[in-house]
Homo-oligomer: A and B are copies of this chain.
Amino acid sequence: MKSYRKELYFNLPTRRAYVNITSQVQQCINESGVKEGLVLVNAMNITASVFVNDDESGLHQDFEKWLENLAPEKPHNQYNHNGYEDNADAHLKRQIMGREVVAAVTNGKLDFGTWEQIFYGEYDGKREKRVLVKIIGE
């Protein structure tokens, strides 16, 4: 069994943002030499998300509006977590969007449907954050 590990780094200029990381994950699979296996991609920070959805800017605007409705950032003092911090909403938003994606590796490629793309979802940006890519297989 082969295994592979890499960290991806992000430092986004806005509090919230979406970054398509599909090609970076495929590059990891290439480097790993794994032809058949599983790839785990997870946020290492608990105010961020990794998920699969559509690479369409209108939808990303819908995510922003929808998540702000379900778990609004402000007022900050509506959350007990925000005594010394202001990011409780980010911890909640990431529960809806998810921490991780597990995807199949088949014949050395991400085994995806036509429109599947992997995104890093940032909910508390303006500082360095990390994503872990772990691959196991043969």
Contacts and interface: CB of A to CB of B under 8 A. Distances in A.
B95 A53 contact: yes
Report the copy number of this chain in the oligomer.
Answer: 3
Given A70-B70, A88-B62, A130-B113, A40 B3 contact: no
Contacts of A99: 51-52, 98, 101
Contacts of A70: 70
Interface of A: 1, 3, 5, 36-38, 40, 42-46, 51-54, 56-59, 61-63, 66, 70-71, 79-83, 88, 91-92, 94-104, 106, 111-116, 130, 132, 134, 136-138
A46 B113 contact: yes
10 contacts: A3-B36, A5-B106, A36-B136, A40-B102, A46-B54, A58-B81, A59-B91, A96-B96, A99-B101, A111-B132
